[in-house]
Amino acid sequence: MAIQLFVPTFDVEGCLNEIRECLEKGWTGMGFKTIEFEEMWKDYTGLRNAHYLNSATVGLNLAFEIMKEEYEWFDDDEVITTPLTFVSTNHAILLAKLNPVFADIDDTLCLDPESVEKLITSKTRAILYVGMGGNTGEYIKIVKICEKYGLKLVLDAAHMAGTRLNGEIPGKEAEVVNYSFQAVKNLPTADSGMICFKRNDFDIIARKKAWLGISKDTYARTEPVGSYKWKYDVEYVGNKYHGNSIMAAIALTQLKRLDYDNAYRKQISQWYRDGLKAYGDKIKFIRIPYGCESSCHLFQIMVEDRDGLMEYLNKHDIFPGVHYVENTQYKMYSYAEGTCPKASYASDHILTLPIHMRLKYEDIQMVIKRIVEFISN
């Protein structure tokens, strides 16, 4: 049987029970379960605000749109960001008509604080930090840089559901934290996300903008006895970004098993490290800093002939992935090509090995066996 990179696992009966409640109540849209999940997520993370959205991508778009308007940033003001991420991260900067400035990464695959600090100018407004694979990297150093220069910190926590740093969920220091509950994330739904602003007034704006700028959502306009208050104002030109109760029903169920699932991902990661550590001259592991309890969304290695290894594994029904192509290789970011050599190297040599809840010890040993065969020959 093929060993796939990602295969989500659901508490099927739990999800169906939550969804059945939506169907029986006759409320599948925004409200009801979305509100319940928002409250549970705030309790779980300790973050002040949480608004449930239909994807993490729209969360990033909202974050920069709102900050630009409310802080009166100008077009072409700068956001320092990483080139080693999914394109939605940096597209959000461009969509807000801001300028992505690419800093290099370190051996955690997250932003290198030294590279970041060298790029700060009078036009810098924010730093966009990606917790690659669930890794916190040198997050605290980035927080201190933001404090030193008066910059806003945006934490792209798409991979970080359940990640802890020194025992705490990171993000309270950030202006906004954005999570993904996409189909293959650690807390999977079909697709959804959560935007968590530090400021309450920004959370209120996000809720309106995510519902076409309407001042009061449908659920809030429904009285407990069933009467419907039809009148509302439209305060912004917004989009239909909000989440729905069907996805939130799945999320509520999956949140209950998130820490358990992450513990097994950690075990898989350790099996890989134990099985490959003897080949340290040919395989490089990604550094996990002291105090970081990663969600282990990804397990990544770097090898000299990454593409050759991928082909070899594919021939043996093992299907790894690449996270990610360095963004400066794409047309819209090519102005920065060649400016981040560590990210460029990682982009050409990094390999994400299969990691999900359906893998067994024997599966991991088979992946290790095939990797060792390839690098030994």
What are the domain boundaries of the chain? 12-255, 258-376
| C-alpha to C-alpha distance for 173 and 178, rounded to whole angstroms | 13
Enter the tokens of residue 107. 């051996």
Structure tokens at 40: 């549970």
pTM here?
0.96
Buried b (16+ CB within 10 A) or exposed e, 142-161: bbebbeeeebbbbbbbbbbb
- Residue 147: phi and psi, rounded to 5, are -65, -40
Task: Tell me what pLDDT residue 216 has.
Answer: 76
- Please give the Cα distance from 308 to 304 (Å, whole number): 9
Written out in words, the top-level CATH class of the domain with range 258-376 is alpha beta
Q: How far is CA 130 from CA 52, 53, 265, in A?
A: 20, 19, 20
- Under DSSP, the state recorded for 286 is P
Output phi, psi for 225, to 5 deg: -85, -5
Q: What string of pLDDT tens digits covers the 377 residues of the chain? A: 999 999 999 999 999 999 999 999 999 999 999 999 999 999 999 999 999 999 999 999 999 999 999 999 999 999 999 999 999 999 999 999 999 999 999 999 999 999 999 999 999 999 999 999 999 999 999 999 999 999 999 999 999 999 999 999 999 999 999 999 999 999 999 999 999 999 999 999 999 999 999 987 767 656 555 556 667 899 999 999 999 999 999 999 999 999 999 999 999 999 999 999 999 999 999 999 999 999 999 999 999 999 999 999 999 999 999 999 999 999 999 999 999 999 999 999 999 999 999 999 999 999 999 999 999 98
Is residue 79 within 8 A of residue 125, CB to CB? The reply is: yes
CATH match of 12-255 with 3.40.640.10: yes
Q: What are phi and psi of 311, to 5 degrees?
A: -60, -40
pLDDT for the residue 215: 85
Strands, E assignment, the chain? 51-53, 78-81, 99-102, 124-130, 152-157, 164-165, 176-180, 193-197, 284-285, 292-293, 299-302, 350-353
